[in-house]
Structure 1
């Protein structure tokens, strides 16, 4: 097997990735590279393996094949070292009953704690900054369960920000949100990239939101990568028909100039 040379502009890469549940193969010989300093959206029809790919990239699922972070072997990293480089927000995160927003966000600092390094004023400053950046600072004392869906998602994003990694993996961050709150969360994702230079990889279902807010798309078919590139490059009627089974036109978004998918 030939191992590809990983560019320094690649934040995360997989080569010949294989994931199976028992005898059922989900991903087979899948290779993909995710650019550094950009927002990547993984899109595709239901059941094609989008979330499975994200979990495999984060090593939440056992897999075979090569995984690299910034050109280094990701499998050689300890769990703590991995958590200092890569933060993950699952699709339906769980928190203890009664936990406050402040306490939730503070949990993002756990990878930086050890027997020799306990909680410090620097950790408190990071938590406060993340609460401020995500717009939930005034909600710090409130129970997470008392928040609206959009507020709750911002609190979870504040927690992964507090982990202070260059790479964020978000599994369907707009799940259960209406369109207005989805746009609000995705604008925050863009801010993370623009102001902090973070690399963000997220699974999305909405094609037009992906085209609007992502710099780079990974389009998946069943267990494989069907296309990669910018939305302008790869979102075509032919790809939509072949991969999604969707008869649609691709127009120009009158506000942002990118592609706009309009089903027929």
Structure 2
């Protein structure tokens, strides 16, 4: 296991969100965490990325307790893209991506040609080279997310945690970002853990789904094993039909609802 949660307890103040959770992330896979709002998805991802200290249990990174590893060493191995990150006003794309090289800087090793090359490669890889001098706050939503992914790539890690990377994006840009993540995995073997709300996109772009409810893992495995009609009902309280996606062949969740057309529908 590349990343592992062992008997994890997480919360904020006196409120416990996750209790007694065990989870393993396999090397070289794309894993997506799904579940209803408030079930602990983002809380779990923050703990896996060492952004939240557990009140019980621990997280293992490559078999070592992540809380006992130097922060700089963790940052060289694991990259985290939080939900809806915000860049300082006026910061250019190139400057943002360059921040990904900070874990590699020391008092005796400042900016080098290797850092310059890593930034250039990250910008090229995400198609952001022509926008390198553009302020981040002037980009479209999809461009902005690609800029943040560029920063994570410049960090030089092979383990990437993404918290709702498609938030606030329209469908076309959601697909664009997830295609980028899929290509990253396919071409570099990067291990990716994501939190997504869209079940159908999660099924299409992940090798493995982790379904959560009320701070616990209800099911984990390939999308076709996790996204069943019974499981969707159990996890989301939603009546749905699950059919094969006509494009990808992955599970496609179709909500049933009341089954009625709206009065103004054609």
Question: Scaled by the length of structure 2, what TM-score is found?
Answer: 0.94
After the TM superposition, which residues 153-168 of structure 1 pair with which residues of structure 2 at under 5 Å, given as runs?
153-168=145-160
Give the distance between the partners of 1:243 and 1:97, measured in 2 at CA.
40
Are 2:14 and 1:23 aligned?
yes
CA apart distance, 1:213: 0.4
Question: Which residue in 2 is equivalent to 1:135?
Answer: 127
After the TM superposition, which residues 87-166 of structure 1 pair with which residues of structure 2 at under 5 Å, given as runs?
87-166=79-158
After the TM superposition, which residues 206-245 of structure 1 pair with which residues of structure 2 at under 5 Å, given as runs?
206-245=198-237
CA apart distance, 1:37: 0.5
Question: Which residue in 2 is equivalent to 1:4?
Answer: none
Are 2:176 and 1:184 aligned?
yes
Give the distance between the partners of 1:192 and 1:76, measured in 2 at CA.
29
Q: Which moved more, 1:73-82 or 1:126-135?
A: 73-82
Give the distance between the partners of 2:241 and 2:63, measured in 1 at CA.
39
Question: Which residue in 1 is equivalent to 2:264?
Answer: none
Question: Which residue in 2 is equivalent to 1:53?
Answer: 44
Give the distance between the partners of 1:14 and 1:58, measured in 2 at CA.
11
Give the distance between the partners of 2:38 and 2:206, measured in 1 at CA.
21
Q: Which moved more, 1:165-174 or 1:65-74?
A: 65-74
Are 2:188 and 1:196 aligned?
yes
Q: Which runs of structure 1 show a deviation greater than 6 angstroms over 4 or more consecutive aligned residues?
A: none
CA apart distance, 1:66: 2.2
2:24 to 10, 16, 33: 33
| Structure 2: unaligned runs, 5 residues or longer | 257-266
Give the distance between the partners of 2:244 and 2:116, measured in 1 at CA.
45
Q: Over aligned residues, Cα RMSD in angstroms?
A: 0.7
Q: Secondary structure at the match of 1:52?
A: helix
| Structure 1: unaligned runs, 5 residues or longer | 1-9
Deviations 1:186-242 (A, max 9, x none): 000011111111001010000000000011111001110010001011210000001
CA apart distance, 1:29: 0.4
Give the distance between the partners of 2:45 and 2:109, measured in 1 at CA.
31
Question: Which residue in 1 is equivalent to 2:240?
Answer: 248
Q: Secondary structure at the match of 2:2?
A: strand
CA apart distance, 1:118: 0.7
Are 2:72 and 1:80 aligned?
yes
Question: Scaled by the length of structure 1, what TM-score is found?
Answer: 0.95
Q: Secondary structure at the match of 2:246?
A: coil
Are 2:34 and 1:43 aligned?
yes
CA apart distance, 1:181: 0.3
Question: Which residue in 1 is equivalent to 2:259?
Answer: none
